[in-house]
């Protein structure tokens, strides 16, 4: 066991402890962070390391962009170069972050720069332009600027095995809060994910092309999607071809966010075999949120949702294959067309969704929205013992970010291009 104070770390919130943190992480060590505020640049984990934060310990990251050297990973569904994650683990095994302390991304300046930058202005910006030359970023989502300024996630595990995240709080990320990528055998429990209201792309936890993930008793309060499952976008996601699969989620709480539990919109490698149970969603824009569109490819299948309680959610259940965000102007006519298009290897598919024992109270816009494609209907959806009650004072809201969908309030179930939708013991009470 190594206490970072014994190596000279100073927890005054001012002293830069970057060298101490990275020196203090040899292989197979428990690194203890005692109470205090420890300012640092990026931290690289190593195999066998347990980074343990004691109560009242805070790791806060510098917002000096030059400290964050480029790394290549996946950024919103496309493999490219971006700024190093604040805490980064690559090609490791048996690695963990534990304890009841806090990891703070200090992301405000990153967010400010993202909102105002339109073109490269620094040497680092131009370096990213060079590194990403030749990489097709046209499918990349709306969180990047051209081929530079790909903000860092607060925590990223890339191609790791046997991961444990337990007990701590993460907050104020420059981008996604925690990103688990190409990894296997992951356990995440009793972790709190927070991001401020005014952030952009502040997802809580993104599970991206992983196999074997258990998520228990976690809490989410973010400005974008809370818990997300992804598997790459379009051509690059199809090239990588790694599904997100075999995932169990239990006893989690979602407060605020665009969606509570979200699949997509990066679906190219497929998303399958997900079991979600015993969760509570409060005041999120959407509850269960599935999103993709023509060109993003992949199949979302074998999803089981059981014993879910929602309150004040804008639209409790959304499955949307007309997802509009990030579409290029020249694509919109094709992506939004309600007429059948030829089925190709880039056509997304959704099937085998089982939703049981759900109570949703005070919903706002619509009880549920299912928007399949005419050439690829959503197939085999079961509602069993589902009760959705609309609020008496509904506020207009767009239930799905879909082409052509307007704000609405107090509507029931909306279904278009759905095959074999079965409802048993289902009650929908509109206002």
Q: Which residues are catalytic?
A: 224, 258
Q: How far is CA 56 from the centre of its chain?
A: 27
Pairwise CA distance, residues 112 & 242, whole Å: 34
Pairwise CA distance, residues 277 & 328, whole Å: 37
What DSSP designation does 115 have?
H
What DSSP designation does 151 have?
P
The torsion angles phi and psi of 48, rounded to 5 degrees, stand at: 85, 0
Asked if the peptide bond before residue 34 counts as cis, ω within 30 degrees of 0, the response is no
**Residues 6 or more apart from 123 whose CB is under 8 A from it?**
none
Pairwise CA distance, residues 178 & 221, whole Å: 13
Pairwise CA distance, residues 61 & 53, whole Å: 15
**Residues 6 or more apart from 324 whose CB is under 8 A from it?**
293, 332, 335, 336, 401, 402, 403
Residues 250 and 283 sit within 8 Å (Cβ to Cβ): no
What DSSP designation does 325 have?
T
- Helix (H) / strand (E) element for 334: namely helix 332-336
Partners of 255 in the β-ladder = 282
Residues 140 and 77 sit within 8 Å (Cβ to Cβ): yes
Q: How far is CA 192 from the centre of its chain?
A: 14
Here the tokens at position 410 are 């107090």
Residues 321 and 338 sit within 8 Å (Cβ to Cβ): no
Here the tokens at position 162 are 């046997």
CB atoms within 10 A of CB 134: 7
């Amino acid at each position: 066991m190594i206490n970072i104070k014994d190596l000279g770390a100073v927890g005054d919130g001012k002293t830069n402890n970057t060298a101490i943190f990275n020196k203090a992480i040899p292989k197979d060590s428990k690194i203890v962070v005692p109470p205090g505020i420890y300012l640092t640049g990026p931290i690289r984990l190593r195999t066998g390391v347990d980074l343990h934060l004691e109560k009242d310990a805070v790791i806060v990251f510098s917002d000096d962009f030059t400290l964050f050297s480029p790394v290549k990973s996946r950024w919103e569904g496309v493999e490219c170069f971006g700024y190093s994650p604040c805490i980064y683990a690559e090609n490791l095994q048996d690695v963990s972050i534990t304890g009841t302390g806090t990891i703070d991304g200090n992301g405000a300046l990153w967010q400010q720069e993202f909102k105002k930058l339109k073109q490269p202005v620094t040497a680092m910006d131009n370096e990213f332009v060079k590194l990403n030359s030749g990489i097709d970023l046209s499918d990349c989502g709306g969180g990047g600027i051209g081929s530079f300024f790909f903000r860092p996630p607060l925590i990223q595990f890339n191609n790791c095995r046997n991961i444990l995240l337990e007990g701590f709080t993460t907050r104020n990320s420059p981008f996604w809060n925690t990103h688990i990528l190409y990894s296997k055998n992951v356990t995440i429990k009793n972790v709190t994910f927070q991001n401020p209201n005014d952030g952009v792309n502040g997802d809580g936890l993104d599970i991206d092309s992983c196999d074997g993930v258990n998520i228990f008793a976690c809490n989410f309060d973010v400005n974008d999607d809370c818990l997300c499952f992804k598997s790459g976008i379009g051509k690059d996601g199809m090239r990588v071809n790694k599904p997100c699969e075999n995932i169990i989620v239990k006893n989690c709480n979602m407060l605020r966010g665009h969606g509570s539990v979200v699949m997509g919109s990066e679906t190219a490698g497929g998303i399958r075999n997900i079991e979600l149970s015993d969760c509570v969603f409060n005041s999120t824009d959407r509850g269960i949120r599935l999103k993709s569109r023509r060109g993003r490819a992949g199949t979302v299948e074998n999803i089981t949702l059981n014993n879910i309680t929602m309150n004040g959610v804008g639209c409790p259940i959304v499955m949307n294959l007309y997802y509009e965000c990030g579409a290029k102007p020249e694509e919109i006519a094709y992506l939004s067309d309600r007429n059948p298009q030829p089925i190709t290897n880039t056509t997304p598919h959704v099937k085998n969704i089982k939703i049981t024992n759900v109570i949703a109270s005070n919903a706002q816009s619509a009880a549920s929205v299912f928007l399949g494609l005419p050439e690829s209907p959503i197939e085999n959806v079961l509602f069993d013992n589902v009760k959705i009650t609309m609020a008496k004072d509904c506020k207009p809201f767009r239930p799905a970010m879909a082409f052509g969908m307007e704000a609405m309030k107090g509507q029931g179930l909306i279904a278009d291009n759905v095959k074999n939708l079965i409802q048993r013991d289902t009650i929908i009470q509109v206002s």
